[in-house]
């Protein structure tokens, strides 16, 4: 058995090797253990040459959580963003969900806040603007997770619309890091529940999505309420014209970081298309879930109506499924996501709106019950699997009418997908 801890050496039957980061105690010696030691010490050396998290000067409390979470090597965006943010530089990160961008700003922000926590009540020091409630909750959770071992407690709160404002007003007492959707933030500012005059770091996460959801005016108003001297961190999946406008307003000599994780992620995803008629989609779905013994699957539909419909039919056939979409209450969405993340829920059915907000590390299957409109959405959808360098499988249902559109998606993606004709499958075997 191998135990990992945070101090200093590798002990093996081969002798004692001093390693600066990690201690391995080997309790049982056999060939495979020795093999593991060799592989681990080899990969540790590679990591050492390759810049470990400890080389950034992050505090032991942050390094402990990184080790607990099994973050061994920084992802490319983290290698560049962490030192820049620690140095209080502005950053423009062109990076998709799945690239590790959240930790790339959460870690240095927590580090910078140590010893500089802010004193005025209801005056946040850090503001993270996000487009959706789901992303707000997710980002807040990453701040809380990485802040959990810090000697000084840092209060982080997520605020978003669609739920009662009162608990958020009360919760803003003593807030230091505020994660917010733009509209609700302005309501809270207008009611003087929070003040933005002490913000010294602003993060715009998924800025392109905020613009496409029409938050531009709100964002401008928020910028006007912030102190002029501050650090600005802007993350976006794409660099559109509108976004360039925002860059120019807020960024000062930014460090520009571009990552292309989608290509890397897609390489880990096995993609299959199933030719199927409209009326056979339901039976094919049940057949695949049962035949492949899918433990967890995320299904995409193109409308809220269809999402409910697919979830209902699965439940009626004894497959545990819930639909979440914009017409469901926030409480129901959060609860379904929680159940899905913990593995209690087998099937989650959703629409494109939530595609970016869902972050589940080991999600093995994504099914496009209906194809998305754009190739970009296709990549976002299938990118929900194959995350954090794990393999995954993406299945798309393609009706005869969809075939032309599916070819366009493949062409844009630069990859041709294996097609299976479902007419040749014994779908009724697992009805």
Give the binding site for ligand AMP (CB under 6 A): 71, 74-75, 78, 97-103, 359, 361, 387-388
Cα 233 off chain centre by: 17
Strand partners, 272: 395, 418
Please identify, using beta-carbon distances, which residue of 67 and 163 lies nearer to ligand AMP. 67
Please identify, using beta-carbon distances, which residue of 26 and 142 lies nearer to ligand AMP. 142
How near is the Cβ of 220 to ligand AMP at its closest, in Å?
Answer: 26
Please identify, using beta-carbon distances, which residue of 146 and 287 lies nearer to ligand AMP. 146
Q: Tell me how far apart the alpha carbons of residues 359 and 387 are, in angstroms, rounded to a whole number.
A: 8
Please identify, using beta-carbon distances, which residue of 101 and 133 lies nearer to ligand AMP. 101
How near is the Cβ of 52 to ligand AMP at its closest, in Å?
Answer: 10
How near is the Cβ of 244 to ligand AMP at its closest, in Å?
Answer: 23
How near is the Cβ of 78 to ligand AMP at its closest, in Å?
Answer: 6
Q: Tell me how far apart the alpha carbons of residues 68 and 61 are, in angstroms, rounded to a whole number.
A: 11
DSSP string, 139-167: HHHHHHHHHTT-SS---EEEE-SSS-SHH
Of 412, 373, 91, the C-alpha closest to 252 is: 91
How near is the Cβ of 362 to ligand AMP at its closest, in Å?
Answer: 9
Task: Work out the angle at residue 187's Cα, subtended by the Cα atoms of residues 185 and 191, and round it to the nearest 5 degrees.
Answer: 115
For 229, counting Cβ atoms within 10 Å of its Cβ (0-12 exposed, 13-18 middle, 19+ buried), the class is exposed
The CA–CA distances, whole Å, from 368 to 62, 181, 265, 297, 355 equal: 38, 28, 17, 11, 12
Q: Tell me how far apart the alpha carbons of residues 64 and 47 are, in angstroms, rounded to a whole number.
A: 17
Q: Tell me how far apart the alpha carbons of residues 196 and 213 are, in angstroms, rounded to a whole number.
A: 23
Q: Tell me how far apart the alpha carbons of residues 100 and 346 are, in angstroms, rounded to a whole number.
A: 26
Three-state SS for 177? strand
Cα 223 off chain centre by: 25
Task: Work out the angle at residue 388's Cα, subtended by the Cα atoms of residues 384 and 393, and round it to the nearest 5 degrees.
Answer: 45
How near is the Cβ of 191 to ligand AMP at its closest, in Å?
Answer: 31
Please identify, using beta-carbon distances, which residue of 74 and 273 lies nearer to ligand AMP. 74
DSSP 415: -
Please identify, using beta-carbon distances, which residue of 102 and 368 lies nearer to ligand AMP. 102
Please identify, using beta-carbon distances, which residue of 198 and 208 lies nearer to ligand AMP. 208
How near is the Cβ of 265 to ligand AMP at its closest, in Å?
Answer: 10
Please identify, using beta-carbon distances, which residue of 64 and 195 lies nearer to ligand AMP. 64
How near is the Cβ of 58 to ligand AMP at its closest, in Å?
Answer: 12
How near is the Cβ of 82 to ligand AMP at its closest, in Å?
Answer: 10
Please identify, using beta-carbon distances, which residue of 26 and 177 lies nearer to ligand AMP. 177
């Amino acid at each position: 058995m191998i135990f990992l801890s945070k101090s200093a050496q590798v002990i093996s039957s081969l002798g004692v090797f001093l390693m600066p980061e990690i201690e391995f105690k080997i309790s049982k010696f056999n060939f495979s253990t020795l093999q593991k030691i060799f592989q681990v010490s080899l990969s540790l050396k590679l990591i050492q040459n390759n810049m470990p998290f400890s080389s950034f000067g992050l505090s032991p409390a942050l390094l402990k959580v990184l080790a607990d979470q099994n973050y061994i090597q920084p992802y490319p965006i983290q290698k560049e963003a962490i030192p820049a943010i620690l140095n209080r530089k502005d950053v423009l990160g062109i990076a998709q969900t799945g690239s590790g961008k959240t930790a790339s700003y959460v870690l240095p922000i927590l580090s910078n806040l140590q010893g500089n926590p802010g004193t005025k009540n209801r005056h946040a020091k850090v503001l993270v603007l996000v487009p959706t409630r789901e992303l707000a909750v997710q980002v807040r959770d990453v701040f809380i997770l990485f802040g959990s071992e810090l000697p000084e407690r840092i209060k982080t709160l997520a605020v978003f619309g669609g739920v009662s404002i009162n608990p958020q007003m009360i919760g803003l007492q003593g807030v230091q890091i505020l994660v917010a959707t733009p509209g609700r933030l302005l309501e809270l500012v207008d009611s003087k529940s929070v003040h933005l005059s002490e913000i010294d770091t602003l993060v715009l996460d998924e800025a392109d999505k905020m613009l496409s959801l029409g938050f531009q005016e709100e964002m401008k108003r928020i910028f006007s309420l912030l102190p002029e001297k501050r650090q600005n961190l802007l993350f976006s999946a794409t660099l559109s014209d509108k976004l360039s406008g925002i860059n120019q307003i807020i960024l000062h000599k930014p460090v520009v970081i571009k990552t292309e994780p989608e290509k890397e992620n897609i390489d880990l995803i096995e993609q299959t298309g199933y030719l199927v008629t409209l009326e056979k989609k339901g039976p094919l779905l049940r057949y695949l879930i049962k035949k492949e013994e899918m433990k967890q699957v995320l299904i995409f539909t193109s409308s809220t109506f269809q999402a409910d419909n697919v979830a209902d039919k699965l439940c009626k056939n004894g497959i545990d499924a819930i639909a979440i979409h914009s017409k469901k209450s926030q409480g129901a969405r959060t609860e379904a996501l929680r159940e899905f993340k913990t593995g209690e829920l087998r099937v989650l059915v959703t629409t494109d709106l939530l595609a970016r907000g869902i972050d589940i590390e080991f999600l093995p299957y994504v099914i496009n019950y209906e194809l998305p409109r754009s190739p970009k959405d296709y990549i976002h959808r299938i990118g929900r699997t194959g995350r954090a360098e794990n393999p995954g499988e993406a299945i798309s249902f393609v009706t005869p009418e969809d075939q032309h559109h599916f070819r366009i998606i493949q062409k844009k993606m630069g990859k041709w997908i294996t097609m299976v004709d479902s007419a040749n499958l014994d779908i009724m075997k697992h009805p």
